[in-house]
């Protein structure tokens, strides 16, 4: 019955509904209660810290780029004992009130146990309990936790003022238009203290249909693949090209901590000539984790 009614609603009206503040807040709340739950985001960060054998970030200054709608990864940095977390975004979309939902149904023992190797179990418990004591979250309450939200800020054109020890991004670099990527990466390295590190988790699939057709965008002609399309669907930079971009960063060392591929989905017959790649394996890489250290 409900699906029948949904079909009756004209597309233009559906679009208007989706653009309402109420609908958008609902969508962000869903995100907070699912993929941005604090136990899930803690698992993501523990995973990359294990793979990179990362040192604790206790007492360190962290920068997150493209922090998104729900600032859970910033809360995880707080749980890990970060002194300060600067969460940034190119557009101001964060809705801190939804963080209550990121905590509500989480399994408390998971963040405590899996973050403990990078801090201390008792201290993580104390910080977690502190988060649970909040009855609401706002940009002001986040400041009490040492989390500062800065947006809009485009780090391809400006540098963050504060020197930082650790930079993190999840599913962000693929949204940066191709021509902005070198400037953005150089600005990030310039913001890093000597000995500082960054980890970027980059998703290389076509975001228009990630599950069904993850390489569809590879045959679109360069002239039609505008910066807006690059932001929306992914910039099409392939694995080997990411290696080159990171290797070009002066005074740094980079390792790929993971590199996953999609083998079961077709590639287009023709690959647009603007896309730099080595072979089919390179085209098929779907996710990379990049770990960069600024040399002492």
Ligand X SMILES: C[S@@+](CC[C@H](N)C(=O)[O-])C[C@H]1O[C@@H](n2cnc3c(N)ncnc32)[C@H](O)[C@@H]1O
175 forms part of the interface with ligand X (CB under 6 A) = yes
170 forms part of the interface with ligand X (CB under 6 A) = yes
41/106 Cα distance (integer angstroms): 10
In the complex, what is the shortest distance from the CB of residue 37 to ligand X, in angstroms, rounded to a whole number? 12
231 forms part of the interface with ligand X (CB under 6 A) = yes
27 forms part of the interface with ligand X (CB under 6 A) = no
| CB-side neighbour CA atoms (13 Å) of 244 | 9
- Of the pair 179, 253, the CB lying nearest ligand X is at 179
Closest CA to 290 of 215, 214, 239, 237: 239
Q: Per-residue x/- marks for ligand X, 112-151, CB under 6 A? A: ----------------------------------------
- Residue with smallest beta-carbon separation from ligand X: 68
66 forms part of the interface with ligand X (CB under 6 A) = yes
In the complex, what is the shortest distance from the CB of residue 232 to ligand X, in angstroms, rounded to a whole number? 9
Checking 274-282 for CB contacts under 8 A at 24+ apart, the result is 274/222, 274/225, 275/218, 275/236, 275/238, 276/238, 276/240, 276/241, 277/238, 277/240, 277/241, 278/240, 282/238, 282/239, 282/240
- Of the pair 145, 176, the CB lying nearest ligand X is at 176
In the complex, what is the shortest distance from the CB of residue 203 to ligand X, in angstroms, rounded to a whole number? 8
Identify the H or E element spanning 19. helix 11-19
91 forms part of the interface with ligand X (CB under 6 A) = yes
Q: Which of 38, 48, 145, 176 binds ligand X (CB under 6 A)?
A: 176
Q: Measured on CA atoms in the order 220, 265, 247, 290, is the torsion positive or negative? A: positive
- Of the pair 36, 293, the CB lying nearest ligand X is at 36
In the complex, what is the shortest distance from the CB of residue 92 to ligand X, in angstroms, rounded to a whole number? 9
68 forms part of the interface with ligand X (CB under 6 A) = yes
Q: Which of 150, 171, 208, 240 binds ligand X (CB under 6 A)?
A: 171
- Of the pair 184, 218, the CB lying nearest ligand X is at 184
35/54 Cα distance (integer angstroms): 23
Closest CA to 276 of 248, 225, 242: 242
Helix, strand or coil, per DSSP, at residue 201:
strand
In the complex, what is the shortest distance from the CB of residue 175 to ligand X, in angstroms, rounded to a whole number? 4
Name the pairing type of β-strands 192-203 and 285-294: antiparallel
Do residues 226 and 165 make contact, with C-beta atoms less than 8 angstroms apart? no
User: Which 8-state DSSP code applies to residue 97?
Assistant: G
What is the binding site for ligand X (CB under 6 A)?
A: 36, 65-68, 89-91, 93, 170-172, 175-176, 231
């Amino acid at each position: 019955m409900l699906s029948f009614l949904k079909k009756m609603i004209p597309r233009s009206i559906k679009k208007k509904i989706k653009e309402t503040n109420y609908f958008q807040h609902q969508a962000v709340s869903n995100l907070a209660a699912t993929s941005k739950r604090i136990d899930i985001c803690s698992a993501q960060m523990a995973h990359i810290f294990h793979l990179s054998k990362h040192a604790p970030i206790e007492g360190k200054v962290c920068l997150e780029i493209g922090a998104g709608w729900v600032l859970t990864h910033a809360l995880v940095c707080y749980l890990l004992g970060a002194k300060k977390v600067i969460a940034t975004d190119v557009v101001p979309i964060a809705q801190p009130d939804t963080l209550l939902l990121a905590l509500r149904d989480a399994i408390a023992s998971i963040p405590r146990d899996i973050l403990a190797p990078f801090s201390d179990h008792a201290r993580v418990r104390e910080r977690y309990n502190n988060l649970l004591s909040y009855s609401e979250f706002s940009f002001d309450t986040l400041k009490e936790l040492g989390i500062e939200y800065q947006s809009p800020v485009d780090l391809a054109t400006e540098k963050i003022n504060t020197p930082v020890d650790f930079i993190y991004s999840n599913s962000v670099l693929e949204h940066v238009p191709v021509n902005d990527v070198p400037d953005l990466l150089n600005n990030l390295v310039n913001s890093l203290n000597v000995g500082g590190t960054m980890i970027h988790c980059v998703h290389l699939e076509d975001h228009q249909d990630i599950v069904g057709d993850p390489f569809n965008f590879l045959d679109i002609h360069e002239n039609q693949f505008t910066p807006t399309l690059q932001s929306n669907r992914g910039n099409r930079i392939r694995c080997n090209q990411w290696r080159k971009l990171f290797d070009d960063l002066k005074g740094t060392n980079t390792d790929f901590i993971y590199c996953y591929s999609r083998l079961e989905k077709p590639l287009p017959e023709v690959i647009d000539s603007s896309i730099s790649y080595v072979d089919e394996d390179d085209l098929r890489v779907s996710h990379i984790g990049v770990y960069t250290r600024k040399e002492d």
